[in-house]
Structures are given as structure tokens and as C-alpha cells.
Amino acid sequence: MLDATQALTVLAEVADDRARVVLDARLAAIADDLRGNPWFRPGELPDTHFMRFVIIDDPRGELPPLLAWESNHDRATDAYLAEIARGVPTIERVFECCAGYPPGLIADVDAWVAWMKRHAYPAGAFYTSYRGVPRARILNDRDVHAAIRDVIDGDDRIELGGLPPAEIQRRICAEVKRRRPDLDCSATIDREAQWRTAVLAVLAIVALAVVAGLIALPCVAGAGWAALPLALVVAGVAGYGALRRREATDLASAYVRPVDVVAAVRDVEDQVAQNQLTHLVDLKPGAFRLALLWIVLKGINLLARFYFVHGALGGITAIHFARWVILRDRRPGVPKRHRLLFFSNYDGSWESYLGEFIDRAAAGLTAVWSNTRGFPATERLLGEGARDEEAFKQWTREHQLATQVWWSGVPDSTVQNILDDLWIRGRLDRGLADAELATWLRKL
Amino acid sequence: MTEGITDAEIDLPSEADLADIQGIVYSGWTDHPYAGFVFATLGPDAAASRAWLDSLRHSVTPVAKRCRRPQGRLQVALSPSGLAALGVPHDVIAMMPVEATEGMATRQRALADSDPATWKLGGPTDPLDVLVMVYARTGEDRDAQVQRERAALEAAGARVVASETSGPLVKNEHFGFADGVSQPFLSGQHTRPRPGEDRIATGEIVLGYRNAYGKLPITPQWGNCDLGRNGTYLVFRKLQQHVAAFWGWVADQARHLGGSDPAAVDALTAKLGAKVMGRWISGASLVLTPDHDDRAFATLDRINAFAYLDRDADGLACPIASHARRANPRDARGGPAEMSTKVVNRHRILRRGRSYGPQLPYEAAIAGRDDGAQRGLYFICLQASIARGFEFIQQTWLANPGFLGLNGEPDPIIGGGGGRPAYLTIPADPIRLRLPNVPAVVHNLGGGYFFVPSLAALERIATG
């Protein structure tokens, strides 16, 4: 459950202006015909859920343009990249436009994997609604559900309807297996509930142990250690004070007119079932905000990894994969800057996605983005901020980037579809208690 | 969860405001059964257009009863291109929301619309600058009013693009169902909401008041004048209804399922029709009366007095995919009931639609016999944000084939179908029914996005 589904983010500088022209043209050709273009076809990638290429231009013009590759893939990154090098070397047509990329590198699998990993940035926080579920499993379960639908849509429905529920389930199962012997219908046992309880218990014990340790420390290790808990409290109070002072003086962007939405951004939005968002904004200057953001992202990452395992990030049910990546840019002659990059692959419209953010997850998002420039004014890190609906939407629009190439490996399925398919397939071929069986039948 | 504004904090328009806000915000003028909608493109002479508006504005009906004439109602709406033609500076217009300035024809994909190039109204060659809406007690009065407004526009150098007429008003839309049943309650004129009517923040509909988030939205400012205050945004869509295609398909499904007994097939046809619409013909909710239509549940006090989650979470009575349930998911949008209701109420609109064309008799409809007549609905709605109101409802709840875990099921009435085979799942025990090949029964013939200025803003615009 914990090891699969990796967030790979590769960032490399575009070599020069000439390479930029070539790269723009190639990415446009790829986006124009994802399946048939002569350069690189994302559908050939192994075990990939979603991927995108984005060219990141610095609005201030201080930093060189970057090519970003986002991939959400199964298995370990090394093995994944090696398989790409062997099976889909056409991906080089994209990366050969980057600075320091040796021509023909991909022929040397190990060297290519090493180059890619050198340019890979860790995600500050990574979230998925179905962590650890391989793409092959998602596609299989989608087909199992479709096969079940076919069985009960047929003329057998009326006859089936007269049978006891367990017998209906048995017959559906037998018929699906007969019609589609190629599909995997094996049952799964759901451990998510126990898992969550266990994680909460462990967290509670650790927290208690830390507190108890701090209290007990002076008694055990001598009075001198009494300074440690005291120092922590002082540091906490000081940090809080520093935050409140900054919140009082930070500049929030004021919007007196709506932000124009760039056509390139709008053109790739409002797809049928799924959508994407690329967002990049500078951090507020100084080490305090960087440190605070790092801590917040770590916290969200922990929650995403161990608590919001299946389904909903703080009540948002529409996110397939999302990640935040902190870019630390150090260039000679340019003041030190940090930027926060956000990629999301979600269901439905931009308006509904932003609405869910604001309505259901404002605290978490405010904790993250309040450390970046122009964000609507906040209170105590979590308060206000994203709750200012219009300002938050305008601010998001202001910093949104056009995504040149975006590809989904499960294009017609919503998060809810995927979770339902998994749940239904996992219960097709095993006995269920009456209540669960009734729910199972209603979900078909 | 973002709590937003409480009922006690809702801003109330003052007496002066009610004399400033156009009357359609608080009334559909149902006491005036005949309506006319005149669309025009303004001429190049901005001064002439302003003179036209300056004369017209004295006839515009505000909310306040004391300012109304005994009969005859008139409202006016201007699109951003109309404001420009009247001489409102571009940087003022640019303060309007992006979707309003870009217009409905640019939102085809989001709205699952027909190609705007094929529109009969508001297509690329016919920019709709002005919409004058007249309401009358008789057809003759309506026609005279329409003629008067057309002549005034033409005298000012405008080109009248279309005059659409409606009336007499009937309670049921063309598919036969009671229409305009579920509306939010706007504080300010009526004392209290009816049971099941949700009170929403004034700013959800009228600009210049705090919205559901407790905030004032950006509005166009012209010098010292807030053009937005006491105004609202209006969506107009001419929706053609294919009544025989709808009932013919429903009756086919009923015959397929119901066997040979004609009475049983008739009853099943009515029931399936209600399952598709999400309400019975009378307007009664399927949640309150799951098996047959019952007018006792269609009274004003009971028609909206229901929720989905506790009695019908799985949609066994009212299918999750049905039109009424997705247009207003109430407490069943996801999460706890209270949270869902709160979130859903951030996407409410006031509907002011009227039907056009002759009714098709039910017998012809269920036989699938079309008479070839043009009929449909002038869909009209009001909201402070078109993106968060109409567009959100259309895109996220109605046209979305993956709404609330559905798969390949856009709204069966106005989801557009998107060119793919569309299904409709009707939950049932022990096995749900899934109807295939849901036909596209509503076709958008065009329309546009408009701004409905206050009377004071009209005066400011007319002054130039």
C-alpha cells in the first residue's frame, strides 16, 4: 500500500533560444496528436497514470526557462526510467532540448537514468486518492465493472431480479468470468479502516511519548535539561509572534478587476471528465517562510501518506494526483528566490475544483500558500486566506501556467469511478454480509 | 469547512435600494402572462444610443411596488458589447467577470453547447448588445409594447436582431412538468421563505451586498459611480425542446420493460418520465411520494419541503442522475448534510424563464409523433456570478457525465449528450435499471450573457 505510485518531477533548463523554438514546436505537435505524433507518444509509457510537460517561464525574466516533466507512475523510479529508456527512447526528442543533455544519451540506459535522477526534484508533498493502486489494476477493475453492467443490462435482469441477493451476486460473478476470462476478478480484503485506526494510535503514542519525555527529561538527565522543553516553548512562542507580525505587514494582492485568463491556459481546460492545473508562485522572501512552508508540506505529506489514504484530501474527492515542489533557484547575479510549483490532476471544472478548495480545504491550502507572494491576507497561518473566494480565485489565475502537454492514462474515470470499480471488483467473488451485499448491488 | 455568512448577517436592501433594483430580481411577473424579448445590436452613434436609453430608463420597472405602473412591466439588460456601444470606457467594462465579457458563445465546451456558429440567436454575426424584456396582461398589449420598443431602438440606429414572444403563461413547461419549482429565497421583499426554500445571501444575486462568503465581489466602477451596485447578471438561452423525442423514448422504454398490458405501460411511462425529470408532472418530489404522482405534495408549502440524504441517499426514489436532483443536489452533494446544503447554496440562481410555442398533446408525444412546430423554453436566470451560478450548475452538475460517481451519464434533459452514447441509471432493489441511448431532447439555439443595471446605473450610462 505504501510503496507504489511515485511522484516524479524532472526539471531541466531549456538549452537556449533556438532549443526553445524547437521544444515549443515539438510539444505543440505532441499535444496536438497524443497518439499519432512522430515525436513522443505518452501512451507508450509503462505504468503511468498521468503525465505532463510544462515550460516554466519566469515572469520576472531573471531565471532561465525550465522544462518540467511530471509523471505519476507505479514501481520504483529507477526501474521505471530504465524501462522507458529501453522501450520509449523517443522521449529523448523532448529532453534533448535541455541544457547539458548529451546527444543520444538514452542509448546508455544507466547514464540516462542517472541524468534524469540528477534533475529530479523531490515533492514537498504528494497526494493521491488511490495510493498504491497500479494503473493496470485500475484498468482491469474498470473493465470488470463494465462487464458486470453488461450482464445486468441484458435480458437476464428480470430473471436475476427474482433471486436472493447472494445468488444474484454468484450468477453475475460466474457470467463475468465466462464472458471475460482475461480479467482478474479476485477478491480483496479491505484493511483501510484498521490501517487508519492503527496510524492514529501510533501518532497518539508518539505524541504522548514526546511530551512525557520532555517532562521527564529534567528528572532523569539532570536539571540542566529542563532548559530543553523551555527552549521549545520559547521557540514556539517566538515563531508564532514572528508569523503574526508578518501577517500584519505582508502584502496581499488587491484585485480591482478580474485577472485575464491567458488563452493558452483556458484552451486546455474544461475537458470532459478530467482536468489539470499548473501553478507557480514565488515564496515570500526570507528563511522564515521557507522553513514554515517546508514544515507545513511535510505535515500534509504525512497526512496524505498515512491518513487520507483512499478518497479525499481534507474532504476534496476530486483529486487524482497533486504535488507541491519547492524550487530553490540560485543564480549568480540574481537575488536568491524560492518558487513553489503545484501540479494537480483533478475531476471536473476549474470552477468546481477551486470551489472545493475554498469550501472544504481552505485551512490546509492557506497554510501552504500563505507563504507565497500576494496570497489573500491570512490569520494565524490557517485563517482567512483562501476563504476570500474571489481574491483566492484571482490569485490562482494570476499565477497559473499553460500546460503544453497533458496526458491521462485513465481518461474517462473520475476518482469516485476508480474507487467504486476497485470496491466492486474486490467484492465480486466473495461472500458478503447482508448489508454489504445490498450496498454492493446498489453500486453496480 | 469554510462557514461563510450566517442568516443573521445577510444584508438587506433598503427602501431606496428596492426602488433602484430592477423588478425581475424579485418577481417573475407571473401576473403578466405575456412576455416579449427584444434583442438588438446598437448603432455606431453612441450619443443616439444613450438618448434611447435615457428615454427608456423611465419605463423600467423597479422592485418597489409604489414605483410600478398598474400594468405592463419593462426590464432592460445590456451586454458588455452593449455597454461599449453606449460609450462606457473599456477599462470599466474590464472590471466585469471574465465570463461576462467573453460571452456565452466562448463557453461552448464548458457548457456542452451546440456550435455557436449554428446559433439562431447571439451567434458570431449577431452580437446581442441589448435585451429589452416586456411583460403584459394581454397578447395585444405585449405586441404593442414589443412594437414600441423595436421602433425606439431602430430610431436610435440600432438593428433589431430578434423579437421573441411568449404567452400565455402556463404552469407546466413543454415536457409537461411543473416548472420553476425550486428557487432560493432572497431577503428584502417577502417576509419569510416557504418550507424548504433556502435563504441565500443577497450578494449571491445582487451586486453590492455581501455574498455567501461574506465578501463584496469586484464590480465595475466608473469614476465615483459603482455601476454594479443593485445590478445582477442575466443568462438568456433559447432552448428548443424535442417533446416527442423525449416522451417517445420514455414510452419505448416502458413498453420494453412493461410487457403487453397497456395500462401498466401507461403507468410505467409516467413513472419513468418522473424518474428522468426527478419530479412528478405536478412538481411533487419523488422523495415524498415515490410510487405515484400526488398533488397533495405539490402545494407551495410542501413542494420543496424535502431533503435527499436521510430518506433517499441511494436515489431509490429520486435517481441521482435525474435532472432535478443534479440541478439542486440539496443535502446530498457529498459529506455531511449540513455541509452539502451550505456548499450547494453557493451555487443558486433565480430562474425567470418562459416557454414559447404551442403545447404538444401528451398522446402525440408518447406516440413519438412530432407536429414540426417550434417549441421550447426561454431559459433566463439571475446571479451575481455567472461562473459560480449558471455555468457551475450546467458544467459541474448537469453536463458532467461523472457527477457524484456516475459514469457516462450527463443530465438526461439538458446534458447535451456530448455526442457519446448516454445512459441513465435508475436505482432499484435488488438490481438497478439502466436506460440506454438517452436522446438529446433539448437543443440550445443561442443566447447570451447580460448585465442588468440598477436604475441609477442606467441613468449614469445614459448620461455618458
Does the pLDDT value for residue B308 go beyond 70? yes
CA pair distance B211, B205, nearest whole angstrom: 8
Do B125 and B147 share a domain, yes or no?
yes
Amino acid (1-letter code) at residue A42: P
pLDDT confidence tier of residue A2, bands split at 50, 70 and 90: very low
Do A108 and A131 share a domain, yes or no?
no
Does the pLDDT value for residue B118 go beyond 90? yes
Please give the full DSSP string across A41-108, using - where no structure is assigned. -GGGSTTEEEEEEEEE--TTS-S--EEEEEEEESS-HHHHHHHHHHH-GGGHHHHTTBTT--TTGGGS
Residue B346: its chain A contacts at CB < 8 A? 355, 359
Do A36 and A108 share a domain, yes or no?
yes
State the pLDDT at residue A309: 59
- Work out whether strand B34-41 and strand B159-166 pair parallel, antiparallel, or are unpaired: antiparallel
CA pair distance B9, B6, nearest whole angstrom: 5
Do B71 and B50 share a domain, yes or no?
yes
Average pLDDT over residues B257-271: 90
Average pLDDT over residues A195-199: 72
Task: Look at residue A68 and tell me if it is in a domain.
Answer: yes
Amino acid (1-letter code) at residue B67: C
Task: Look at residue A429 and tell me if it is in a domain.
Answer: yes
**Contact between A23 and A16 (Cβ < 8 Å):** no
Do B117 and B167 share a domain, yes or no?
yes
B65: enclosing H helix or E strand: none
Task: Look at residue B352 and tell me if it is in a domain.
Answer: no
* Full 3-state SS string of B103-158: CHHHHHHHHCCCCHHHCCECCCCCCCCEEEEEEECCHHHHHHHHHHHHHHHHHCCC
Q: Which three cell numbers stand for residue B403?
A: 457527477
State the pLDDT at residue A314: 61
Do A369 and A288 share a domain, yes or no?
yes
Does the pLDDT value for residue A411 go beyond 80? yes
User: B354-360: long-range contacts at Cβ-Cβ below 8 A with a sequence spacing of 24 or more?
Assistant: B354/B35, B354/B166, B354/B167, B354/B169, B354/B378, B354/B380, B355/B166, B355/B169, B355/B170, B355/B173, B355/B174, B355/B179, B356/B164, B356/B165, B356/B166, B356/B238, B357/B174, B359/B170, B359/B174, B360/B174, B360/B243, B360/B244
Do A70 and A128 share a domain, yes or no?
no
Do A209 and A172 share a domain, yes or no?
no
Q: Among A202, A214, A255, which Cα is nearest to A376's?
A: A255
Q: Where are the alpha helices (DSSP H) in B11-106?
A: 15-18, 46-56, 80-85, 90-93, 98-102
Task: Look at residue A258 and tell me if it is in a domain.
Answer: no
A61-65, A405-409, B191-195 — which one is most confidently predicted on average?
A405-409
Do B198 and B302 share a domain, yes or no?
no
Does the pLDDT value for residue A191 go beyond 90? no
A314: left (phi over 0), alpha (psi -120 to 50) or beta: left
Do B194 and B291 share a domain, yes or no?
no
Q: Which three cell numbers stand for residue A323?
A: 504535488
Task: Look at residue B3 and tell me if it is in a domain.
Answer: no
Domain boundary among A90, A121, A152: A121
Task: Look at residue A174 and tell me if it is in a domain.
Answer: yes
Question: Distances from the Cα of B293 to the Cαs of A393, B268, B315, B359, B377, in angstroms?
Answer: 44, 12, 17, 21, 24
Task: Look at residue B115 and tell me if it is in a domain.
Answer: yes
Q: In chain A, which residue's Cα lies nearest the Cα of B95? A: A257
State the pLDDT at residue A5: 85
CATH of the domain at A101: 3.30.70
Do B23 and B161 share a domain, yes or no?
yes
Does the pLDDT value for residue A308 go beyond 70? no
Length of chain A: 444
Nearest-by-Cβ selection for B430 from A168, A257, A273: A168
CA pair distance A1, A12, nearest whole angstrom: 31
Question: What percentage of residues in chain A have a pLDDT greater than 70?
Answer: 94
Nearest-by-Cβ selection for A417 from B98, B405, B429: B405
Do A113 and A129 share a domain, yes or no?
no
Q: In chain A, which residue's Cα lies nearest the Cα of B419? A: A272
Q: Is A359 exposed, middle or buried (0-12, 13-18, 19+ CB in 10 A)?
A: buried
State the pLDDT at residue B109: 85
Find residue A54's DSSP bridge partners.
Answer: A68
Do A74 and A157 share a domain, yes or no?
no
Average pLDDT, chain B: 94
Farthest-apart Cα atoms in chain A, separation: 81
Do B433 and B458 share a domain, yes or no?
no
Q: pTM for the whole thing? A: 0.93
Task: Look at residue A367 and tell me if it is in a domain.
Answer: yes
Do B133 and B268 share a domain, yes or no?
no
Nearest-by-Cβ selection for B431 from A168, A255, A358: A168
* Per-residue model confidence as pLDDT tens digits over A421-433: 999 999 999 989 9
* Per-residue model confidence as pLDDT tens digits over B124-133: 888 999 999 9
Does the pLDDT value for residue A190 go beyond 70? no
At residue B355, φ and ψ (nearest 5 deg) are: -85, 160
Residue B392: its chain A contacts at CB < 8 A? 349, 351-352, 355
**Contact between B89 and B46 (Cβ < 8 Å):** no
* Per-residue model confidence as pLDDT tens digits over A214-228: 777 777 777 677 777
Residue A441: its chain B contacts at CB < 8 A? 429-431
Do A403 and A437 share a domain, yes or no?
yes
Average pLDDT over residues A261-275: 78
Task: Look at residue B383 and tell me if it is in a domain.
Answer: no
Do A280 and A416 share a domain, yes or no?
yes
Do A201 and A86 share a domain, yes or no?
no
Do B255 and B122 share a domain, yes or no?
no
Do B408 and B295 share a domain, yes or no?
yes
Please give the full DSSP string across A77-93, using - where no structure is assigned. HHHHHHHHHHH-GGGHH
Helix (H, G, I), strand (E, B) or coil at B290: coil
Do A117 and A132 share a domain, yes or no?
no
Under 8 Å CB-to-CB from A393, ≥6 apart: which residues?
A: A354, A358
Question: What percentage of residues in chain A have a pLDDT greater than 90?
Answer: 58
Task: Look at residue B96 and tell me if it is in a domain.
Answer: yes
Under 8 Å CB-to-CB from A206, ≥6 apart: which residues?
A: none
Q: Which three cell numbers stand for residue A133?
A: 493502486
- CB contact under 8 Å between A351 and B408, yes or no, is no
Does the interface predicted TM-score (ipTM) exceed 0.85? yes
CA pair distance B407, B404, nearest whole angstrom: 9
Please give the full DSSP string across B181-217, using - where no structure is assigned. ----EETTSSSSPPTTPPEE-GGGTSTTS--TTS-PP
Residue B430 CA, distance from chain mean position: 37
Q: Which three cell numbers stand for residue A17?
A: 533560444
Q: Where are the alpha helices (DSSP H) in B229-368?
A: 243-258, 262-277, 309-312, 323-327, 337-344, 362-366
A215: enclosing H helix or E strand: helix A192-221
Length of chain B: 464
The lowest-confidence range among A48-57, A167-176, A387-396, B414-423 is B414-423
CA pair distance B127, B82, nearest whole angstrom: 9
pLDDT confidence tier of residue A245, bands split at 50, 70 and 90: confident
Q: Is A20 exposed, middle or buried (0-12, 13-18, 19+ CB in 10 A)?
A: middle
Task: Look at residue A256 and tell me if it is in a domain.
Answer: no
How many angstroms separate the CA of residue B213 from the nearest CA in chain A? 7
> Is there a cis peptide before residue B430, judged by omega within 30 degrees of 0?
yes
Do A384 and A270 share a domain, yes or no?
yes
**Contact between B390 and B349 (Cβ < 8 Å):** yes
Task: Look at residue A106 and tell me if it is in a domain.
Answer: yes
Question: What percentage of residues in chain B have a pLDDT greater than 90?
Answer: 82
State the pLDDT at residue B318: 97
State the pLDDT at residue A364: 86
- CB contact under 8 Å between B431 and A261, yes or no, is no
Q: Among B394, B350, B201, B407, which Cα is nearest to A270's?
A: B394
Q: Among A408, A403, A324, which Cα is nearest to A56's?
A: A403
* Residue found under cell 500563505: A370
Average pLDDT, chain A: 88
Beta carbons within 10 angstroms of residue B400's beta carbon: 24
pLDDT confidence tier of residue A192, bands split at 50, 70 and 90: low
At residue B442, φ and ψ (nearest 5 deg) are: -130, 135
Q: Among B199, B207, B238, B214, which Cα is nearest to B354's?
A: B238
* Per-residue model confidence as pLDDT tens digits over B390-445: 999 999 999 998 999 998 899 999 886 556 678 999 999 889 999 989 999 999 99
CA pair distance B273, B463, nearest whole angstrom: 52
- CB contact under 8 Å between B110 and A272, yes or no, is no
Helix (H, G, I), strand (E, B) or coil at A241: helix
Average pLDDT over residues B54-79: 94
- CB contact under 8 Å between A270 and B395, yes or no, is yes
Does the pLDDT value for residue A28 go beyond 90? yes
Does the pLDDT value for residue B191 go beyond 80? no
Q: Total structural domains in chain A?
A: 3
State the pLDDT at residue A393: 93
State the pLDDT at residue A193: 59
The radius of gyration of chain B from alpha carbons, rounded to an integer in Å, stands at 22
How many angstroms separate the CA of residue A348 from the nearest CA in chain B? 6
The radius of gyration of chain A from alpha carbons, rounded to an integer in Å, stands at 25
State the pLDDT at residue A315: 64
Average pLDDT over residues B195-218: 94
**Contact between B239 and B112 (Cβ < 8 Å):** no
State the pLDDT at residue A398: 93
Q: Where are the alpha helices (DSSP H) in B286-361?
A: 309-312, 323-327, 337-344
Task: Look at residue A57 and tell me if it is in a domain.
Answer: yes
How many angstroms separate the CA of residue B441 from the nearest CA in chain A? 20
Do B129 and B212 share a domain, yes or no?
yes
CA pair distance A359, B400, nearest whole angstrom: 20
CA pair distance B121, A62, nearest whole angstrom: 49
Domain boundary among A121, A152, A176: A121
CA pair distance B159, B177, nearest whole angstrom: 36
What residues make up the domain containing A233? 192-249
Nearest-by-Cβ selection for A359 from B2, B391, B433: B2
Residue B434: its chain A contacts at CB < 8 A? 149, 152-153
How many angstroms separate the CA of residue A420 from the nearest CA in chain B? 8
Nearest-by-Cβ selection for B430 from A165, A359, A414: A165
Q: Total structural domains in chain B?
A: 2
What residues make up the domain containing B318? 243-346+365-370+404-443
Task: HSE, CB side, 13 Å, CA atoms: give it for residue B261.
Answer: 5
Nearest-by-Cβ selection for A362 from B2, B346, B407: B2
Find residue A48's DSSP bridge partners.
Answer: A73
Do B325 and B250 share a domain, yes or no?
yes
Does the pLDDT value for residue A155 go beyond 80? no
* Full 3-state SS string of A244-312: HHHHHHCCECCCCCCCCCCHHHHHCCCCCCEEEEEEEEEECCCHHHHHHHHHHHHHHHHHHHHCCCECC
